Structure 1
């Protein structure tokens, strides 16, 4: 299988600090992006080995889950940290643009569209997201086989606490209905149910389809690219960053996420604790 990842990456230490990409300190962003790229290769690339101690040889493993990857980092106006990443440059491609920084995600959309016909999956990631599930594409393929290509399964984003307190928090809880009702009807097929290894799993239409990412198979990407609103750079969903990640797919597909009882079925880590640290301070529920 051939997989294309387009990652929107921006860093400007003079930007005022509202987002991690605008922080004075670049270290956390370097760690986040490096970890993002490293995990993509570790989970889905072909360089996976088992050390055979008896014969002193490293042998290939996980062959069915080893794929051909292309990782493209999209940047704008030379505001990036690629020169400081502690990873070889050959593991990714650099796609430089002159886009408005807040609209950089839409340049990723254009890149994905321009590569139609060459890949089996077309993926978008913000640069602070880390995948840790080697069965991600197996699960996504199973879901579309069961539900059809017009239904899209999105992961639940989570943050981890380094020590003490709440150890893990999913950060994209439901929004007020008015935020997304212009773009989706969650009452249409509100739930889907299935079984994995004799274990029941439930997926629900969500009032917050945002995950900072999406993973579309070739049919889904082609279908979205044919829509009249594709690349219209509409930013009506919360803001430009959220819209680039979510608005287009929300207008095109019925979006589901794993229900809370099996939230970890499909998930992706958000680097840092920006949201988790709000629990017990601005958000109630910090006690166990």
Structure 2
């Protein structure tokens, strides 16, 4: 499996936390979070592992499922928490772009995808504070596309850990007002629910009323389809804000977007390394 991961990353020392790209609170925590995200992609998915053979008293190599991983960090204005040594250690391709609005960096990720469209099997877009912990995360993306077809996309549900929240684990992307998604449902009609058996039990997926996860994955077939549409690269920011538009709008224009539903919300999930949404109306 060959994978390209593009992560827009922005840090600026400001108390404004209205968007992930402008949250300058807690610089050390932010730095740790950013490094854990890049390290996870480099070492949890794309590096060989080892097993301790107790009988033979030696370590033995286990080959990684991901045979090639290209990891890109997209920054602007020098506002980031990445140093050269860390980038070398994680083999990060650091791309600095000039933008008036940092929330537009996601469109640069799509340009990187297009430049490598024939080289990789999966193309991952992720905001810089989202951490996948499931070793089968990428396999599930391929499985969903193979099972339900390339015109349907599966997004992860974001969650936060917060012992002072409404529950220790809170999924943070509930339904938006229907007027935001109804136009896309009308243009691309599809099933409201999908179901398949996974590991011997039924798993349900819902066409989501909140297509923003700060994250998406294209298969090569899906990317090439999206690139062939007249709106590819139009930098349309009409969905909520530039931040949400870069993550979700290209998907809405091209695909029926699903997420795990109900008790299956954790089928595909990604951790948001923050507590801001699970602490709404509470002390974090």
What TM-score do you get using the length of structure 2 for normalisation?
A: 0.91
Conserved 8 A contact 1:34-1:85: no
Change (3 A) 1:41 1:51: farther
Conserved 8 A contact 2:76-2:96: yes
Post-superposition offset of 1:85: 7.8
The answer to whether residue 118 in structure 2 is matched with residue 117 in structure 1 is: yes
Alignment match, 1:34: 35
Change (3 A) 1:240 1:85: farther
The separation in 2 between residues aligned to 1:211 and 1:167, in whole angstroms, is 20
Q: Aligned to 2:183, what secondary structure does the other structure show?
A: coil
The separation in 1 between residues aligned to 2:275 and 2:225, in whole angstroms, is 36
The separation in 2 between residues aligned to 1:90 and 1:135, in whole angstroms, is 21
Alignment match, 1:54: 55
Alignment match, 1:77: 77
1:238-253 counterparts in 2 under 5 A?
A: 238-253=240-255
Change (3 A) 1:165 1:15: closer
Conserved 8 A contact 2:204-2:264: yes
Alignment match, 2:274: 272
What TM-score do you get using the length of structure 1 for normalisation?
A: 0.90
Alignment match, 2:136: 135
The answer to whether residue 217 in structure 2 is matched with residue 215 in structure 1 is: yes
Give the alignment partner of residue 197 of structure 1, picking from 189, 196, 199: 199
> Tell me, which stretches of 5 or more residues in structure 2 are unaligned?
none
Change (3 A) 1:15 1:49: same
Q: Aligned to 2:196, what secondary structure does the other structure show?
A: strand
Q: Aligned to 1:264, what secondary structure does the other structure show?
A: coil
Q: Deviations over 1:171-228 (max 9, x none)?
A: 0000110012233348621111110111110111011011101011100011111111
Q: Aligned to 2:175, what secondary structure does the other structure show?
A: coil
Alignment match, 2:238: 236
Change (3 A) 1:68 1:260: same
> Tell me, which stretches of 5 or more residues in structure 1 are unaligned?
282-288
Ranges of 4+ aligned residues in structure 1 off by more than 6 Å: none
The separation in 2 between residues aligned to 1:70 and 1:245, in whole angstroms, is 19
Alignment match, 1:146: 147
Post-superposition offset of 1:32: 1.4
Alignment match, 2:68: 68
How much is the aligned-residue C-alpha RMSD, in angstroms?
A: 2.1
Post-superposition offset of 1:54: 3.5
Change (3 A) 1:216 1:71: same
Change (3 A) 1:203 1:24: closer
1:86-101 counterparts in 2 under 5 A?
A: 88-100=88-100, 101=102
The separation in 1 between residues aligned to 2:84 and 2:13, in whole angstroms, is 14
- How many residues of Structure 1 are paired with residues of Structure 2 in the alignment? 280
The separation in 1 between residues aligned to 2:234 and 2:51, in whole angstroms, is 47
Change (3 A) 1:261 1:187: farther
The separation in 2 between residues aligned to 1:235 and 1:26, in whole angstroms, is 29
Post-superposition offset of 1:161: 1.5
Alignment match, 1:286: none
Post-superposition offset of 1:91: 2.4
Change (3 A) 1:120 1:20: closer
The separation in 1 between residues aligned to 2:275 and 2:75, in whole angstroms, is 25
Bigger mean CA deviation after superposition, 134-143 or 157-166: 157-166
The separation in 2 between residues aligned to 1:267 and 1:248, in whole angstroms, is 21
